[in-house]
Amino acid sequence: MRKARKNTATRQIIHIVGEGLTELFYFSHLKKVLGYRYSISPRLFENNSIEKIEKKIKELLDEDVFVICVFDADVSRRSDAENKKMVSLKKKYENNANVILCDSLQSIEYWFLLHFEDTCRHFQDSAATERALKQYLPTYDKTRKYLEKDKWVKEILAGSKMDKACELAEKYKGRDSYSEIYKAIKKVSESL
């Protein structure tokens, strides 16, 4: 007589796509340091346009993959054409249960800043956000050499600061400065 197989629920694969080396290394280090379960395609993070991101989202959805898309919203503010593309992308996927779009304004550095400071003040640009972050991470640098080491992510995570950042990001949703990365953190935390 054959043994009855246990019916175990299969876990949906989570895949993170985005633009920029900072996002790539941040999520790569989170995966390693916190043991999150998701996949990342490194080559997809460099020089991504909204069109390339949307194409990848479609491909992954066709494979029944949960997609988390991370990008800076400041790019869309510089050009009407880019802004229209971003608004269209957000509208297209806002009600899709298998996609989370996580943009940050001015940049992902605002998300990092929330780990140290309760603020929703307006930053003129991503450089201003970066200067504010350097008050807490003086050596922070957007070079590959700096980002590929996980020390900076460990500093950001020390002392349960991510919980605080998630609360603040949710509180300041839709303000002059915002980050929706807390949505990605909530989703990948469920995968543990």
Strand bridging mode 178-179 / 99-105: antiparallel
DSSP code of residue 98: T
The structure tokens 């900072």 sit at 22
* pLDDT digit string, tens, across residues 78-126: 678 888 888 899 999 999 999 999 999 989 999 999 999 999 999 999 9
* H/E stretch holding 67: strand 66-72
* Per-residue pLDDT, 10: 60
Q: Mean pLDDT of all residues in the chain?
A: 89
Q: Are 178 and 101 in contact (CB under 8 A)?
A: no
Q: Where in the chain are the domains?
A: 14-190
138: left (phi over 0), alpha (psi -120 to 50) or beta: alpha
154-165 pLDDT, tens digit each? 999 999 999 999
Q: What is the pLDDT of residues 174-186, one digit of tens each?
A: 898 999 999 999 9
Three-state secondary structure readout of 9-66: CCCCCEEEEECCHHHHHHHHHHHHHHCCCCEECHHHHCCCCHHHHHHHHHHHHHCCCE
Mean pLDDT of 61-74: 92
pLDDT (mean) for 13-38: 94
Mean pLDDT of 62-89: 86
Q: What is the pLDDT of residue 4?
A: 52
Three-class HEC string of 121-173: CCCCCHHHHHHHHCCCCCCCCCCHHHHCCCHHHHHHHHHHHHHHHHHHHHHCC
pLDDT at 89: 92
Separation of alpha carbons 113 and 100, rounded Å? 22
